[in-house]
Structure 1
Amino acid sequence: MKSKLGYIKFVLLIALVAFLFGFAEKRHDNRKMTGTEVHFTDSENLYITVDSVNNLLIQNEEGDSNLGEETLDLNKVETLLNSNDMIENAEVFLNLDGKLSAIVSQRKPIGRAVGNQSFYLDRKGKVMPLSENFSARVPLMLGFNEVNIFEAYPLVSYIKNDSFLSKHITAVNRLENGRYELKMRKLDFVVYFGAVKNIELKFNNFKAFYKKALIDEKLDTYKKVNLQFGNQVVCTKK
């Protein structure tokens, strides 16, 4: 008798848990969205604004705040945000208070092509359009289009990730022969880099030259610094 009573209690307990779970899920599904909120992982330079992201969140039925949460497809909302030209990655989720929230990482420019075509090269080596909201302080890229710019990515990326080079190099110029020249901030000489190879070696040589010339106060005496000859830095005086 006791075992039968215990079995009945167990069945009732299971039924109660299932009921409470179903009730909570139904209540959660019927809850209305209370709005949206946007967080940027880097909020200093906004290539896309909070308002623009909010507009994307409510652009179609997936982001309509009048819909119940059961109608939301968060993957579709994320896909919508990630298709934006200024967004590198977006994560979308629902808060406990019913808000549709987005954590947004913007694309990061490392160079800006100027000329017949104007656009950015981003840190992943992809073409990025200019933003109406902010202009990035990155080296200018001369003589490039949306096809040949990818060959310069290793060079421009190296410059961007080096504190000394990113401070002093203001432009990357692609010559007709496919070689490269670099322009320096507040200095008259041109750095002839040559082909995009042996990048680390060439820049280490350049840094050693720059340090020595700075100590000797000779930086202003050169018009061209050539890095293409292996371990040598060949300078041409004014």
Structure 2
Amino acid sequence: MKINWNYIKTFLLIGAVFFLFAFAEKRNNSRVLSEVNLNFTNSENLYLTEEAVNKLLIQNEVRVRSVGKEKLDLNRVETLLEAHEMVENAEVFMTVDGKMGASITQRKPLARMMGNVQYYLDRNGEKMPLSEFHSARVPLVTGVTEEHLQEVHPLVNFIGNDEFLTRHVTGLHRLSNGKYEIYLRKLDFVVMLGTVSEIQTKFKNFKAFYQKAMKDKKLDAYQKVDLQFGDQVVCTKK
């Protein structure tokens, strides 16, 4: 009987392919996570450290350095990270070489609310606890209670997104009538902003006044600058 070697070679080739595929899959599934790569998208101010993230995962029994890839629930890890009081968003992923990666966006504080209990107000208008790792350089706000947070948020958000105001504004105070005073770095006059309305126009007028007064070297001549009168800036001299 004549043996057809072509058929035999074909069967052997198919068998070898299936064997290699099964071997590769088993090896990939049994591969142990050897490293966790963390990336903080706003790493200039770390309110949460890499050590704190690893401690969080350990406390929740997420053994990312010793568990097989197929056993790691990435959604659970992502949920744990996003539940942290300093995290705004987290994206967790797995690399082909057995490493877990996490891209973490920290919450961004806009102002520090002063009172019996101090906390930050973040860019989403929500309360944010102080961090043991970093103190944010943001304006200090007094006279504001929790019921006023939605009122003051547009104001501190505007200041936090304006380079000039971020550089100069150090504090805000809410008066009992709902009007705000603003305090500036290295200047001893008070800026009367009034209510949180038409703030874009008010600050535009203030910038024009500031540039003119600085050019004339008269910034130290005033004790109060009032922005409540439309397009006018009313100044009171010392």
Name the residue aligned to 1:164: 164
1:236 and 2:236 matched: yes
Task: Give the direction of change, closer, same or farther, for the CA distance of 1:68–1:220 in structure 2 (3 Å limit).
Answer: same
Give the Cα–Cα distance (whole angstroms) in 2 for the partners of residues 14 and 62 of structure 1.
Answer: 40
Give the Cα–Cα distance (whole angstroms) in 2 for the partners of residues 132 and 236 of structure 1.
Answer: 42
| TM-score, structure 2 normalization | 0.88
| TM-score, structure 1 normalization | 0.88
- Are the counterparts in 2 of residues 117 and 145 from structure 1 also a CA contact under 8 Å? no
Task: Give the direction of change, closer, same or farther, for the CA distance of 1:11–1:210 in structure 2 (3 Å limit).
Answer: farther
1:87 and 2:82 matched: no
Name the residue aligned to 2:76: 76
1:60 and 2:65 matched: no
Structure 1 residue 14: Cα displacement: 8.6
Structure 1 residue 120: Cα displacement: 0.6
Name the residue aligned to 1:140: 140
Give the Cα–Cα distance (whole angstroms) in 1 for the partners of residues 21 and 150 of structure 2.
Answer: 54
Write the letter of the residue equivalent to 2:130.
L
1:45 and 2:49 matched: no
Unaligned runs of 5+ in 2: 1-8
Name the residue aligned to 1:31: 31
CA shift digits 1:163-206 (9 cap, x unpaired): 11111111011111111110011111111111111111100011
Give the Cα–Cα distance (whole angstroms) in 2 for the partners of residues 76 and 56 of structure 1.
Answer: 12
Identity, % of aligned pairs?
57
Q: Secondary structure at the match of 1:156?
A: helix
Unaligned runs of 5+ in 1: 1-8
Give the Cα–Cα distance (whole angstroms) in 2 for the partners of residues 144 and 86 of structure 1.
Answer: 22
Give the Cα–Cα distance (whole angstroms) in 2 for the partners of residues 176 and 10 of structure 1.
Answer: 89
1:187 and 2:187 matched: yes
Give the Cα–Cα distance (whole angstroms) in 2 for the partners of residues 28 and 233 of structure 1.
Answer: 70
4+ residue runs of structure 1 moved beyond 4 angstroms?
Answer: 9-23
Give the Cα–Cα distance (whole angstroms) in 2 for the partners of residues 197 and 48 of structure 1.
Answer: 35
- Are the counterparts in 2 of residues 159 and 165 from structure 1 also a CA contact under 8 Å? yes
Q: Secondary structure at the match of 1:204?
A: helix
- Are the counterparts in 1 of residues 169 and 185 from structure 2 also a CA contact under 8 Å? yes
Give the Cα–Cα distance (whole angstroms) in 2 for the partners of residues 93 and 202 of structure 1.
Answer: 46
Q: Secondary structure at the match of 1:141?
A: strand
Structure 1 residue 162: Cα displacement: 0.9
Q: Secondary structure at the match of 1:183?
A: strand
Write the letter of the residue equivalent to 2:94.
L
1:108 and 2:108 matched: yes
- Are the counterparts in 2 of residues 62 and 77 from structure 1 also a CA contact under 8 Å? yes
Q: Secondary structure at the match of 2:146?
A: coil
Give the Cα–Cα distance (whole angstroms) in 1 for the partners of residues 96 and 231 of structure 2.
Answer: 61
Query: What are the within-5 Å matches in structure 2 for residues 207-226 of structure 1?
Result: 207-226=207-226
Give the Cα–Cα distance (whole angstroms) in 2 for the partners of residues 199 and 22 of structure 1.
Answer: 66
Write the letter of the residue equivalent to 2:184.
M
Name the residue aligned to 2:5: none
What RMSD over aligned residues (CA atoms) do the two structures have, in Å? 2.5
Give the Cα–Cα distance (whole angstroms) in 2 for the partners of residues 80 and 19 of structure 1.
Answer: 39
> What is the number of equivalent residue pairs in this alignment?
234
Write the letter of the residue equivalent to 2:131.
S
Name the residue aligned to 1:98: 98
Give the Cα–Cα distance (whole angstroms) in 2 for the partners of residues 69 and 176 of structure 1.
Answer: 58
Task: Give the direction of change, closer, same or farther, for the CA distance of 1:72–1:179 in structure 2 (3 Å limit).
Answer: same
Give the Cα–Cα distance (whole angstroms) in 1 for the partners of residues 137 and 167 of structure 2.
Answer: 10
Q: Secondary structure at the match of 1:43?
A: coil
Task: Give the direction of change, closer, same or farther, for the CA distance of 1:181–1:13 in structure 2 (3 Å limit).
Answer: farther
Structure 1 residue 12: Cα displacement: 9.8
